[in-house]
Structure 1
C-alpha cells in the first residue's frame, strides 16, 4: 500500500531535484549554508537496510515505533487505543496537504525527501491517547523517512521523536532526511519533543509542516547537537486563528559543525498566539544559524506573538547568525522580538569561583542553566535514553 502511494511521489521528487539542482548562495534561505556539505548529502546512496542499534527500555506507558528500514514500522507494534493507521484512500487524499498549505511542498529539502523516502508512517489520533515515541536511527548513506499525523477535534497526543546517531564513526558519511506533516483539528493538542544527537560525519535535515485549526495548541521542543551539518525547519500555519503555538529550541555546535534553524509562523486568522524561544551554543570553529519568520496578514487581528533568540559563544572563532523576520500587515497586534549573542558572564563566573567552584565546573554549571530552560521541556521519555547512556545528557557541556 505504502509503495503504491510513494512511487509517484518519488518520481516527482527526482524530477524536481534534476530541475532545481543544488541551492545557491543567491537564495536567501541558503546564503549562509555550507553548500559543499549539502552536495555531499545529495550524493549519498540510499540506505537499504537499517543498522542494528541498541535501544533503551521503553518508558512505562509509552508506545515505541522505529522507522528507517524498508519493513513496515508497525510490525509487532500494538498501537494505543485511539491511534489507527490511515487507509490508502486517506493517504492519497491527505499526503502532502500540510506541505502545500504551509508553502513548503517545493522546498529543496522536501523534494530530496520525496525522491528517496521509502517508508511512511501515517496515523489518525482520536481522543486523548498514550504517548508515542518515534525512533529514527541514522544509518550509513542517506536515510529518508516520512510521517503524517491527523489529530481529530479535541485529540491530545505527546509525541517524542529521537534521532540517535551518537557513536557514529568519523569519515563515514551518514545523513537523515525527515519530513513530518501534522494537521490539528479544532481543540486538538500536540506536545512534540525532538531530540537529535549526532556525532562524527552524521548530518540531519528535518522539515516540519504543521496546520492548526481554531482552539488547537502545538508545542514544539527541539534539542539538537553533534551534527556535522544540520537543518531544522518548523513551518506552522494557524488556518483561521484562535490557536496557540509554542516553539522552544536549542542547538549546540562544536568543532566545525554547522546547524541551522529556519522557522516560519503564519497567522491566517485573528487572536492567534505564539511564544518562541530559540537558544544556541556555539564552540570551537562551529557555526549556528537562526532565521525566524513571522507573518501577520490583515485578517490576523489581535495576534499576540513573541520571539526571542539567545545565543552563547564559547569560542572567539565560533560564529552565530540570527535573523528575525516580522511581516505585519494587521494593525491590532502585539508582536515582539529580540536577539542576543553573548559569552558566559564574567561576574557569574567570579561569583561561583569565589565560593570554591573551579573554573571548568563553574562554566559547566552556567552552561547547564542556559540549556535547561529548553531541555527540561522535553517529554519524560527522554530520561530512559539518558539513563541507559544511549544518548548523553543534552544539557551537559560540549
Structure 2
C-alpha cells in the first residue's frame, strides 16, 4: 500500500493528477462535468477530520489506476424475460435496444431539468463522491416509467480496472411501478462510482436491488437519491462484499409525507476491507413510514461503519419510523462502528432505533453439529440465515446473483 492520503499535500496532489487526466468535457453532460471538476478542485479530498469521513480511510484511492475502465462482460447467465442493459460508462446502453411498453427515454430538455434535482432535494448535490461522479461521467441512463405502467429492468456493469462512472436518472409517473435489479462487479484495481436519482410521483412504486461484488484493490462509491410524493413506495436494498473500500449512501425525502420507505442493507468485510454506509431519510410531511434494517458481517481485520440519520420535523406528525442496525463479528480483530440517529421535533410519532453486535452463538453451532452437520457448514448456515432478511428484499434477479459462496467469510 502506498502512503496514506492523510496529509493535505498528498490528497491535493492525488486529486490534481486525477483531474489532469480527465478528457475534455463533452457531450450531453459537458456542463455537469465542468461543474463537478470545479467543485472537486475547490473541495479537495475529504479528511478524517470531517465527521462524515472520520472512519473512512481513503488511502486505497492513491494506489488505483486513474484511466477510464475498460469495458468487460459481467459473469452472468443468459438473461430471462427481463430486459438487461449493460452500463459500461462509455457507450449508450440503449443503442439498438427496443424498450418495453411503458418505458421511454427522457428528452434532452427533461434531462437538463431533472439531472441534479433530486440530489439537491436530498441535500447531497455537493457531496464529494457525487462531485467525483459528475466530473467523470459521460453517459447517463435517463428513463421515464409512464403512468400506471409496470416495468422491470436488469442493469449490469463490470470493471476490469480504472475508473467506471455510472449515472442514472429515473422518473416514475403516477401509479407507475419499476423493479430494478443492478449488478456491479470489479475484477481488477479500480474505482466504481454510481449516482442514481429517482423521482416517484403519487402512488408510484420503485423496488431497487443493488448487488456489488468487488475485490480488495477496488473501491465503490454509490449515492442513491429518491424523492417520494404521497402514497408512493420506495424499497431500496443493497448487498456489497469484497471491496477494499465501499461507501454506500441511500438518501430519501418524503416531500409531503404519507409515503412508505423500506431500506435494507448488507455489507460483508474481511481482510483489511472497509465498508461504510451513511443513510439519510427526511420526512417533510405527516403520516410517513420507514422500515430500515442494516446488517454487517465483519471478519479478519475488516471494518464496518453505519450511520443512519432520520429527520422528523414538526410538520411530520404521525410518522412511524423504525431503524435497526444488526452486526455479526467473526473475529476479535474486526471492528463495527454503528450509530443509528433520530432527530425528532414532531410530538405525535412512533419512532424507534436500535443496534446490536454479536458473534456466532455457541449453542446454535452445537445444535446444528449435534444433527450431524460439520462445524464449517454449520457456521456457513448461520451466516447465511443472518443475511437472509436482506436477501429476501431484493428483486428476484438480484437475489439470484447472491449465491452462498459469494457470501462466505473466513472467521480468522
Q: Tell me, in whole angstroms, the C-alpha distance in 2 between the residues paired with 1:329 and 1:89.
A: 39
3-state secondary structure, aligned to 1:321: strand
Q: After superposition, where does 1:222-371 map in structure 2 within 5 Å? A: 222-371=238-387
Alpha carbons 1:132, 1:159 under 8 Å: kept: yes
Alpha carbons 2:299, 2:409 under 8 Å: kept: no
Q: Deviations over 1:157-187 (max 9, x none)?
A: 100111022xx2xxx5211001000000000
For the structure 1 residues 205 and 363, does the alpha-carbon distance in structure 2 shift closer, same or farther, using more than 3 Å as the test? same
Q: Deviations over 1:42-82 (max 9, x none)?
A: xx42416413444421122x011111142211012221111
Q: Tell me, in whole angstroms, the C-alpha distance in 2 between the residues paired with 1:326 and 1:69.
A: 37
Equivalence for 1:74: 94
Equivalence for 2:12: none
Equivalence for 2:28: 5
Equivalence for 1:90: 110
How far apart are 1:351 and its partner, in Å? 1.5
Match of 1:177 among 193, 199, 205: 193
Q: Tell me, in whole angstroms, the C-alpha distance in 1 between the residues paired with 2:52 and 2:61.
A: 13
How far apart are 1:40 and its partner, in Å? 4.5
Alpha carbons 1:227, 1:253 under 8 Å: kept: yes
Equivalence for 1:50: 71
Match of 1:17 among 33, 36, 40: 40
Alpha carbons 2:175, 2:205 under 8 Å: kept: yes
How far apart are 1:384 and its partner, in Å? 5.4
Alpha carbons 1:63, 1:130 under 8 Å: kept: no
Across the two proteins, how many residue pairs are aligned to each other? 385
Q: TM-score, normalised by structure 1?
A: 0.93
Alpha carbons 1:58, 1:384 under 8 Å: kept: no
Equivalence for 1:122: 142
Alpha carbons 1:301, 1:330 under 8 Å: kept: yes
For the structure 1 residues 25 and 69, does the alpha-carbon distance in structure 2 shift closer, same or farther, using more than 3 Å as the test? closer
3-state secondary structure, aligned to 2:46: coil
Alpha carbons 1:224, 1:250 under 8 Å: kept: yes
Alpha carbons 1:218, 1:246 under 8 Å: kept: yes
| Uncovered stretches (5+) of structure 2, i.e. residues with no partner | 1-24
3-state secondary structure, aligned to 2:182: strand
How far apart are 1:324 and its partner, in Å? 1.1
Alpha carbons 2:60, 2:217 under 8 Å: kept: no
Match of 2:56 among 26, 30, 33: 33
Q: Tell me, in whole angstroms, the C-alpha distance in 2 between the residues paired with 1:330 and 1:31.
A: 30
Which moved further from structure 2: 32-41 or 297-306?
Answer: 32-41
Alpha carbons 1:10, 1:115 under 8 Å: kept: yes
3-state secondary structure, aligned to 2:333: coil
For the structure 1 residues 347 and 384, does the alpha-carbon distance in structure 2 shift closer, same or farther, using more than 3 Å as the test? closer
How far apart are 1:395 and its partner, in Å? 4.2
| Uncovered stretches (5+) of structure 1, i.e. residues with no partner | none
3-state secondary structure, aligned to 2:37: helix
Q: Tell me, in whole angstroms, the C-alpha distance in 2 between the residues paired with 1:196 and 1:52.
A: 15
Q: Tell me, in whole angstroms, the C-alpha distance in 1 between the residues paired with 2:194 and 2:292.
A: 22
Does residue 65 of structure 2 align to residue 65 of structure 1?
A: no
Which moved further from structure 2: 374-383 or 138-147?
Answer: 374-383
Which moved further from structure 2: 350-359 or 22-31?
Answer: 350-359
Equivalence for 2:132: 112
How far apart are 1:140 and its partner, in Å? 1.2
Alpha carbons 1:372, 1:395 under 8 Å: kept: no
Q: Tell me, in whole angstroms, the C-alpha distance in 1 between the residues paired with 2:243 and 2:280.
A: 22
Alpha carbons 2:221, 2:247 under 8 Å: kept: yes
How far apart are 1:124 and its partner, in Å? 0.5
How far apart are 1:39 and its partner, in Å? 4.4
Q: Aligned-residue CA RMSD in angstroms? A: 1.7
3-state secondary structure, aligned to 2:100: coil
Equivalence for 2:166: 145
For the structure 1 residues 221 and 384, does the alpha-carbon distance in structure 2 shift closer, same or farther, using more than 3 Å as the test? closer
Alpha carbons 1:139, 1:175 under 8 Å: kept: no
